Structure 1
Amino acid sequence: MTGTPKNVAAAAGGIDDAVPSEILNEGSSWETSTLRRGRFRNDEGGDPDIDEAMERLSRRHAYRFAKRAFDIVFSCLFLALFCWFFVVVAVAVKLDDPKGPVLFRQTRITKDGREFAMYKFRSMAVDAEERLGELKAFNEKAGPVFKIRNDPRVTRVGRWLRRLSIDEMPQFANVLKGDMSIVGPRPALPSEVEVYTPHQRQRLLVKAGITCYWQTRRNRDAISFDEWVDLDLLYIKKCGIWTDFKLIVQTVGCVLTAQGN
């Protein structure tokens, strides 16, 4: 994979904290007009089944209300119950790497191409971006994402945070704010979206989420980006209360068995 750091997304474990938001905010010139219309012509690489799914979703007012209500209630309860644990994690992150911040803030993309600031516990060294160039040759993913196993930039505590998916816990604040949902495609980086094909941009038709089909796959490290996109589009076609419930249960199982990363 070639390109400058601003065109590369270092996504070890599916989440990237290697590229600072200052770099990512440069040159986000990709088009979102098609996304805002919510439709794709076949000659643009769109899936006609997605058009039908979005039409159905636009009429399912009860589901959309229930999904948002659940996001708010669950996020409030989660943040209240685990606020003490956030303090424990913060202390662990600081003891392991005192130089950097506890929380990592990064620009991501959600529904209709809208940018937002995503939060997570910092799991990489503070010089992760400077060391990105020396690792690009080891990229294990095709497409717009950059991913390697055993990324040397991940801290000792960060490795456990990722393995147990603890690093993603602050994203419930993003859910509460309305930037994300509990279930939905993982939020992309602006640099990734810049090189999306029309087919890949369809994953931005719904709100980004904490968990998704890809997140619950035990072999997710072996899944190509195109397969990842297909799983996100499958969710758009099948989204509903029962689908969301099953994905949440499967995610809990993955976390409890440490199969996240």
Structure 2
Amino acid sequence: MTTSLQRPVGNAGQPSTLRHVDSFEIQPPTAPQPNGVPRSAWARSHRRVSRWHRPYIAILLLMDLAATVLASWLASTEFEQARAGFQTSNATWFYTVSYLLLPLGWVIVLWSNGAYDRRYLGLGTDEFKRVTRAGVAVAASVSFVTFATNTDVSRLTVGTALLGAMLLVLFARYLARIVLHTIRRRAGQAAQQVVLVGTLPEALEVYKAVSRSPAAGLIPVAIHLTDGYAAARGLETPIPVYAGRDVLSLVREVGGDTIAVCGSASTEPGELRRLAWQLEGSGVDLIVAPQLTDIAGPRVHIRPIEGLPLLHVEEPTLSGPALLAKNLLDRLAAGLGLLLLIPLFVTISVAIRLSDPGPVFFRQPRVGHEGRTFRVWKFRTMYVDAEQRLAGLVDQNETDGMLFKIKEDPRVFAAGRFLRASSLDELPQLINVLWGEMSLVGPRPLPADDGDFLGDVRRRLLVRPGITGLWQVSGRSDLSWDEAVRLDLYYVDNWSLAYDLSILWRTVGVVLARKGAY
């Protein structure tokens, strides 16, 4: 006999409501599932349950072909010059190579580099890295064929066509990703329906993580407890909870297509392997969420030893050539930015003086790298008596932790509201970046009220604070203090130059949308 929690199953595609787990019923055991399927891929009786990727990949194929053909067409003038020196008088053959064989070659190389692998589509940088590697492979292949056949073509022409094709493919995939993310956020479609397997705290932790990012395309629809119904009895859960059930039968019952094994549930000897066997040929995906939270992929490496896959976690890179390059880029960008923004600084200064007589800049002590205190530069957005009026507004604070925020702060004058909404008040911090007190990207500098941070918050001080950061592009003032700290710590543990560039790019969209700025 097996037991299961007696809870109704909602529509997998609809947002779930809180369910109160307080009862269970005895159910007969289900028939055991066979382990393993015929080895031939053609003998599978079930196709993959999650099918959103098939039309998406078909669209990507068409877009990639169109992008490569467009790149050839844009270089048509150069192609005409190249054709004049081509070692054949057959113009049809030349255009066949340029507009048919070369685009097909692009698609074949993209496919062989995993650029259509559904595991890398829609999230992360792997998709773009694979497109870039494919571009290098195509360039190398074309160069080899040209050299081997002693073909006389313009290097500039070929380079323009190949580089243009790669850039257009990257741009097309970026646009496709935006559309995919919009569909996932607004309609809950084009996503995988996930059943979480593990203890309740571990399952809820994974639920919270994937729910924070709807663009990831993972929608939890049920939890299967490995430690029995008693662990969840009397607790509220955002999705239905079950126990003592055959997992594959449960997945089909709730309309799922993916199983996520959470935390310690993946450490039972042989259990994970037997579950993988059971899922072979079923069309259901298997995901393992180990107890390694907020650690980015580049720091995690799998090193198998005698069939045992060991996860090796590298230390964060907080020194070395990459950090030196970051500091040099910060200071060069800050110096150039200050020179170019002089007219804007003058205009903002005049607007501040007209709004409220007093200093143009506001300087406040903040805690920086390794706990050193510095004074941050900002355009003043509040009346000169703002500090004196703070005591009467403390009970209206709309955030928690070490921050004080009010959406309609009466101490902010009209021009100051515009400066805050557009983030223009932060631009003078380029002076701090030029002096080496701050960085363009990093955790936001917090007020130095007592000069000491306790607990996990101190880890933010391992890097220089930034004008923008993961906190800002993920919600800014709309986030809770705990969530802001979690994002800052994630940045500290996983920063890289590529990650900084990604955050800077996302900052542009956040600033234009004025999201969470007040």
If the length of structure 2 is used for normalisation, what is the TM-score? 0.39
User: Greater strand percent: which structure?
Assistant: 2
Asked if structure 2 preserves the Cα contact closer than 8 Å seen for 1:106 and 1:118, the reply is yes
Q: 1:85 to 1:260 in 2, by over 3 A?
A: farther
Equivalent in the alignment of 1:250: 506
Equivalent in the alignment of 1:106: 364
Asked if structure 1 preserves the Cα contact closer than 8 Å seen for 2:316 and 2:493, the reply is no
Equivalent in the alignment of 2:335: 76
Equivalent in the alignment of 1:225: 481
Equivalent in the alignment of 1:205: 462
**Distance in 2 between residues matched to 1:145 and 1:244, nearest whole Å:** 24
Gaps of 5+ in 2: 1-292, 300-312
Q: 2:406 aligns with which of 123, 137, 148?
A: 148
Q: Which one-letter code corresponds to 1:206 in the other structure?
A: V
Deviation (angstroms), 1:73: 1.2
**Distance in 2 between residues matched to 1:146 and 1:105, nearest whole Å:** 17
**Distance in 2 between residues matched to 1:111 and 1:233, nearest whole Å:** 14
**Distance in 2 between residues matched to 1:56 and 1:118, nearest whole Å:** 27
Three-state SS of the structure 2 residue aligned to 1:129 is helix
**Distance in 2 between residues matched to 1:229 and 1:152, nearest whole Å:** 27
Q: Which one-letter code corresponds to 1:229 in the other structure?
A: V
Asked if structure 1 preserves the Cα contact closer than 8 Å seen for 2:334 and 2:430, the reply is yes
Equivalent in the alignment of 1:34: none
**Distance in 2 between residues matched to 1:251 and 1:62, nearest whole Å:** 25
Q: Which one-letter code corresponds to 1:126 in the other structure?
A: V
- The CA deviation string for residues 27-63 of structure 1, in whole angstroms up to 9 with x for no partner, is xxxxxxxxxxxxxxxxxxxx997xx9995424x5221
Q: How does 1:7-26 map to 2 (within 5 A)?
A: none
Count of aligned residue pairs for this structure pair: 210
Does the alignment pair 1:94 with 2:353?
Answer: yes
Deviation larger for 208-217 or 158-167: 208-217
Runs of 4+ in structure 1 deviating by more than 2 angstroms, as ranges, are 52-56, 219-222, 256-260
Does the alignment pair 1:167 with 2:425?
Answer: yes
**Distance in 2 between residues matched to 1:92 and 1:209, nearest whole Å:** 26
Q: 2:388 aligns with which of 101, 122, 130?
A: 130
Greater relative contact order, per chain length (Cα 8 Å cut-off, separation 6+): 1
If the length of structure 1 is used for normalisation, what is the TM-score? 0.75
Asked if structure 2 preserves the Cα contact closer than 8 Å seen for 1:165 and 1:260, the reply is no
**Distance in 1 between residues matched to 2:516 and 2:456, nearest whole Å:** 27
Equivalent in the alignment of 1:239: 495
Q: Percentage identity across aligned positions? A: 44
**Distance in 1 between residues matched to 2:492 and 2:345, nearest whole Å:** 32
**Distance in 2 between residues matched to 1:192 and 1:260, nearest whole Å:** 27
Deviation (angstroms), 1:102: 0.3
Equivalent in the alignment of 1:215: 472
Equivalent in the alignment of 2:324: 65
Three-state SS of the structure 2 residue aligned to 1:145 is coil
Deviation (angstroms), 1:202: 1.1
Asked if structure 2 preserves the Cα contact closer than 8 Å seen for 1:164 and 1:259, the reply is no
**Distance in 1 between residues matched to 2:500 and 2:461, nearest whole Å:** 17
**Distance in 2 between residues matched to 1:63 and 1:183, nearest whole Å:** 14
Equivalent in the alignment of 2:434: 176
Three-state SS of the structure 2 residue aligned to 1:57 is coil
Q: 1:229 to 1:150 in 2, by over 3 A?
A: same
Q: Which one-letter code corresponds to 2:364 in the other structure?
A: Q
Asked if structure 1 preserves the Cα contact closer than 8 Å seen for 2:477 and 2:516, the reply is no
Asked if structure 1 preserves the Cα contact closer than 8 Å seen for 2:379 and 2:428, the reply is yes
